[in-house]
């Protein structure tokens, strides 16, 4: 999608791209707000959303440096108008009228910082931003990138409940990066074109809670059990792989921005009633005993139209599913507890 937008930059090419997005030929006005737009994920995400022809208004918010980011991407000759908002006083303006809010806000883990330190900082940021969303754009779809997603989505749900505006169909944890990684790693081992690969990923969005279903991958390849085990482990440890490659000086920002933009595009297509938009996402769910779970969901004008069942699992995947449940349950409970403190 994004490649075609960059390569085909003529006016006629852009118009044909717009026409192909909808059977009706018309493109609705859609405002997308990015909270944390000046950060390591936020900046490339802002660029990718500026390239998306489904966006008519791009609202960029952060506590600092947002006007510069907005001026930079605002010079790109695509459809959306861009405005940068900075500081608490401008959060309301950033959110008002938003159809989709994407939240990559937060801090990366720094030397000497414990996981609890990181959790408390990012959870607090999410809590404050969701309180503002409840007040200024209560009907928007909310797409959560801020880690730990396994806990920040339950935090958001609790904040929205307190505000009396929680709609389980409109809150998403973005697990698309796990799918992107699973597709890439699988294609490499199966020796098939990566663009043709699809791999569902279920569970959560951290370590062992990430469970790629390679038994359901398409196209199917005859890979050994050892290879599939290694692919599963690599998908689960994808974030660590990037941190180590960056020698501790960063985390997965570019690939996460790409994954966030892919999921945002799916949300916008759903809002615009494009049929059969299915993506994996971490949502409120009843397909397991856990209150939140990542699986394939069908997206539509109201957000989640349907949570699809898990389908047939291999014995290895069944074991993985049972193994992830205690950790995911603990992360959910931690988020709920934080929100209600």
Give the end-to-end CA distance of the chain in Å, rounded to a whole number: 43
The answer to the question of whether 62 is labelled as a binding residue is yes
Residue 164 annotated in ligand binding = no
User: Is 37 labeled as ligand-binding?
Assistant: yes
Please check if 146 is assigned to a binding site: yes
261 is in an annotated binding site: no
Dist. CA 216–CA 129, nearest whole Å: 37
Rounded Cα distance between 33 and 31, Å, is 7
Which single residue is written with the structure tokens 């999410």? 126
Residue in 78, 41, 83 with CA at minimum distance from that of residue 61: 83
20 marked as binding residue: no
Under 8 Å between Cβ of 307 and 188: no
Check whether 122 is labelled as a binding-site residue.
Answer: yes
- Is residue 173 within 8 A of residue 149, CB to CB? The reply is yes
Instruction: Report yes or no: 304 and 86 within 8 Å, Cβ to Cβ.
Output: no
Tokens of 284: 């409120």
Rounded CA separation 197/96 (Å): 38
40 annotated to a ligand binding site: yes
124 is in an annotated binding site: no
Residues identified as active-site: 205
89 annotated as belonging to a binding site for a ligand: no
Integer Rg of the chain from CA: 19
The answer to whether the annotation marks 36 as part of a ligand binding site is yes
Q: What is the dihedral of CA 287, 289, 330, 156, to 10 degrees?
A: 50
Q: What is the DSSP letter of 142?
A: E
CA separation for the pair 146, 126 (Å, rounded): 7
Tell me: is residue 38 an annotated ligand-binding position.
yes
CB–CB of 99/31 below 8 Å?
yes
Residue 287 CA to its chain's centroid (Å): 20
Tell me which residue of 289, 188, 279 sits closest to 235, measured CA to CA.
188
Q: Answer yes or no: is 147 a known binding residue.
A: yes
84 is in an annotated binding site: no
Binding residues for NAD(+): 36-42, 62, 122, 145-147, 256
Binding residues for substrate: 109, 115, 147, 181
């Amino acid at each position: 999608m994004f490649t075609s937008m960059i390569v085909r930059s003529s006016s006629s090419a852009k118009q044909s791209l717009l026409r192909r997005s909808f059977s009706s030929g018309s493109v609705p006005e859609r405002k997308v707000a990015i909270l944390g737009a000046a950060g390591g994920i936020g900046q490339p995400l802002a660029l990718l959303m500026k390239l998306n022809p489904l966006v008519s208004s791009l609202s960029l918010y952060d506590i600092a440096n947002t006007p510069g980011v907005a001026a930079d991407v605002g010079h790109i000759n695509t459809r959306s108008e861009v405005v940068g908002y900075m500081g608490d006083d401008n959060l309301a303006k950033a959110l008002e009228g938003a159809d989709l809010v994407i939240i990559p806000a937060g801090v990366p883990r720094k030397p000497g910082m414990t996981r609890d330190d990181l959790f408390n900082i990012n959870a607090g940021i999410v809590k404050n931003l969701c309180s503002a969303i409840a007040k200024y754009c209560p009907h928007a779809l909310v797409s959560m990138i801020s880690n730990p997603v396994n806990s920040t989505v339950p935090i958001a749900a609790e904040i929205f409940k307190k505000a009396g505006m929680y709609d389980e169909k409109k809150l998403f944890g973005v697990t698309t990066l796990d799918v992107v990684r699973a597709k890439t790693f699988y294609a490499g081992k199966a020796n098939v074109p990566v663009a043709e690969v699809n791999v569902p990923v279920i569970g959560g969005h951290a370590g062992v809670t990430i469970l790629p279903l390679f038994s359901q991958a398409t196209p199917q390849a005859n890979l050994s059990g050892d290879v599939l085990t290694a692919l599963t482990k690599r998908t689960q440890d994808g974030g660590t792989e990037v941190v180590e490659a960056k020698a501790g000086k960063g985390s997965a920002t570019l690939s996460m921005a790409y994954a966030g933009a892919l999921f945002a595009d799916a949300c916008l297509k759903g809002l615009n009633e494009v049929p059969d938009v299915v993506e994996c996402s971490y949502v409120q769910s009843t397909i397991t005993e856990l209150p939140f779970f990542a699986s394939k969901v069908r997206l539509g004008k109201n957000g989640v139209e349907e949570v699809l069942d898990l389908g047939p699992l291999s014995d290895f995947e069944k074991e993985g599913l049972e193994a992830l449940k205690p950790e995911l349950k603990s992360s959910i409970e931690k988020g709920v507890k934080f929100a209600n403190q």
